[in-house]
Amino acid sequence: MKEIRIGLIGFGTVGKGLAQALFSQRERLIQRSGIAFTLTTVVDIAVDSLPDEFSNVTLTRDAKDIFNDPSIDIVVELIGGMEPAKSFLLEAINKGKHVVTANKALLSVHGREIFTAAALNNVEVGFEASVGGGIPVIKALKEGLVANKINYIKGIMNGTANYILTKMTDDGMAFNEVLKEAQELGFAEADPTYDVEGIDTAHKLAILMTIAFGLHVHLDDIHVEGISEIEPTDIEFAGTLGHRIKLLAISRNHGKHVEARVHPTMVPETHMLSTISGAFNAIQFNGDTVGDVLLYGQGAGMMPTGSAVAADVVDIGRNILQNSVNRVPALSYLPNNMAEPIITPMDELVCPYYFRVTALDKPGVLARITSIFGDHGISIKSMVQQEHDANEPVYIVFMTHSATEGNVKRAIREIDELDVCTSPTVKIRLLISE
């Protein structure tokens, strides 16, 4: 029976999940693969001892103990961040070792360098856990949908943001109040910026776009807006209008150019993504052959993410056993067929919009506002005016037909300059019906 030996860098939450999965599923993995997967070495500068079941595993503080051990076949990096994670992965690759990582931030910025080095050294890079936690989204996109032109990607890819928006919607709570609760429950980090400002979601979208379209998409290519400015008032209006607000990653393939955006989006209550609640993730693909596919599950956590890392380890082990390393290209497309992306400028985006205008309730105000919309080619689909006390500013909510982002920005600028408008206009994009 073949033994595959594994070195693990980082024994944090996900590292423990991987170790537990390999330990508890050892016999099942042997039955399914004919391979004994053995965790031999763990590198972690903050861990003094390992649990009793890992008494045969060497614990060290020096990653060179893994790189310089010729018996180790696969190096798993689970420390996150840019450095030293990047250097560790490149060192392992240059030593001829296969690597597995869950590091979406690193791959969305330096993925091209890492995948190029792996191809040159004929080793594999597993990164299933970088998107969707325990959801097998990378494998589905690389292999299950290989006979498809991907028309679009839409998804809820951050559990923290989705938990916060769910609580705001269901309980009428304000953002800061829900965030504090999420931190106390462990759903949000002490510094939640990456989660609530959409950056974590953008990391994942860049990776998915790279695989889906065969393009070298970088984090900087993604337009990113977060949820910290979402107010209960807009969530309430959304519900009245038959929508729920979600933080979505969206990319539509226009052939010569592709959209790349992360932002709060009004999703019709009839759409599948509107039903995804709490800390769960859901990612939807549309292929020209298969149609719509929705993958749903836990997007984070020790065991779900550990499961995804273990799946990469097993895949690589099977390829080693069958002498078929890189049978499936790391990014689905062969390296020489990857191309540079042309990203749709945000000003050229066309979609429906929600606007909330705050204005004094005076004769002629509505006419002035709608006239500005008309001047910029924005067609109103529906309008709601909030009941209010006399002499108080009023909320006027508009839902539009599809309009161009550049025209929308110019219209909002003019509306906000009106002497009767007392607060900046709120704009939220609507999900495009395909």
Q: Which of 140, 155, 431 is nearest to 290 (CA)?
A: 140
Give the strand pairing for 35-43 and 58-60. Answer: parallel
Structure tokens at 392: 């108080």
Instruction: Outline where 260-399 has alpha helix (H).
Output: 302-321, 365-375
- Annotated catalytic residue: which of 86, 104, 204, 246? 204
Helix axes 104-120, 85-94, angle to 10 degrees: 20
DSSP H or E run through 333: none
For tokens 């042997």, the residue is 30
- Peptide bond between residue 84 and the one before it cis (omega within 30 degrees of 0): yes
How far apart CA 138 and CA 144 sit, in angstroms, is: 9
Task: Tell me if residue 204 is catalytic.
Answer: yes
How far apart CA 428 and CA 264 sit, in angstroms, is: 7
How far apart CA 103 and CA 82 sit, in angstroms, is: 9
- CA 257 to centroid of chain Cα atoms: 21
How far apart CA 287 and CA 146 sit, in angstroms, is: 10
| Residues identified as active-site | 204
